[in-house]
Amino acid sequence: MAAAAGEERGEPRTQEFVYGEEDFVLQGAGWEAEPDAAPASRFDRALLEGWSDRMERGLFRYRLGPLPTRVLPGAMRLVTQLNVQRGTERRPPQHIRSLRQPFDPAAFNFTRLRPDELLLRLRRTGTDSSSAPPDPLLVAINASPLERGHVLLLPEPARGLPQALTAPLLRGGLEAALLSAHPGFRLGFNGLGGCASVNHLHLHAFYLAHPLLVESAPARPLCPQGRLSFLTGVPAPAFLFYAAGPAGLEALARDVCRAAEHLTDAGLAYNVFATRGDPPEGPAGGCGGGRGLRVLLWARRPSFGAKAGEAFNVALCELAGYLPLPAAPLFRDMTEDAALRAVREPVPAEPELLRLGHELVRLLRG
């Protein structure tokens, strides 16, 4: 493994993590086994060992131990988790004013990370001639973590890209998901106006040792071959994209980003969540073929200004049915009905979403 940032100053190295298609875990561990007892992949070991090392050396804003967690009674099986310190000790979120706010080098951004906050540099090798490898990604700790292993995936920070999802970043993130053997390794993106905290291009990735309904709920097809579906019967209705394996990730990432750009053109914000999951038809649609990657895209009315650190903000986690709560009374008293009211409030009504869905079908076909 090659050395990188900070080595000449005696600081920890950013580990060069070179991977190929042979490293993809195509049949990841399922929920039938205890997730944390499942065999870890080379990627899981490198990420979690580096993350734990940084936690032991005090590089986070707070020490994260086991968090009180419960699944709310109800059909949605919402996972609630109490994380008081994230609400009180995280860096103040930036003031977001528009869906196309330019990158501001004077505001906090990821060029200011200390070298020892960087864990890995992901670099793909050995792609076939029909597809260029995704750009390398830096894996950095999130200094205010949601859960064990919460990291940020960053394209070259010096490029100063604003928080608008790009196909190269999403494809690289989805390949990272296939490198993990843990069923609860998730990816997410908060767009501008969708509770993004930093206007500098990044994905979130974290481990959550609980299944979520969005992994398995069946979706209604909107166009042939499962290219786009409409997912209901989940905490918040979403557009669903699916890839059975690595061969489909480049096209999927391109489709998701074209759809997200269309939402922005329509004056809507968006959030994205990626997880291992069943085909759009649900578990029965797999016909024994196993799980692929589900990518959910939510359209939502924009929320501008700086989000409150101690409030119940609706971002990618909440929309997916994972509720990190910043206060003990909220955690104690939260019900499924109350959570669903909050989660669905910024999301347009189903008729508007279906109209948007038909626009997206025409866009993707064109």
Active site residues: 202
Please give the C-alpha separations between residue 178 and each of 4, 164, 172, 283, in angstroms, as whole numbers: 24, 23, 10, 19
CA distance 332 to 147: 19
Q: How many CB atoms lie within 10 A of CB 232?
A: 15
Q: Beta partners for 324?
A: 81
Strands 151-154 and 203-207, bridge-based pairing: antiparallel
Strands, E assignment, 59-201: 69-71, 79-82, 118-124, 137-141, 151-154, 185-190
Q: Are 54 and 273 in contact (CB under 8 A)?
A: no
CA distance 239 to 232: 9
Q: Beta partners for 204?
A: 152, 188
Q: Are 298 and 238 in contact (CB under 8 A)?
A: yes
Which tokens go with 34?
């205890």
Starting from the edge strand earliest in sequence, which strands make up the sheet with 238-243, in order? 15-19, 118-124, 137-141, 151-154, 203-207, 185-190, 269-277, 292-300, 238-243, 229-231, 219-221
Residues 6+ positions from 132 with CB-CB distance below 8 Å: none
Q: Are 228 and 260 in contact (CB under 8 A)?
A: no
Q: How would you label 46-71 residue by residue, b for 16+ Cβ within 10 Å and e otherwise?
A: bbbebbeebbeeeebbbebeebebee
Starting from the edge strand earliest in sequence, which strands make up the sheet with 69-71, in order? 69-71, 79-82, 322-325
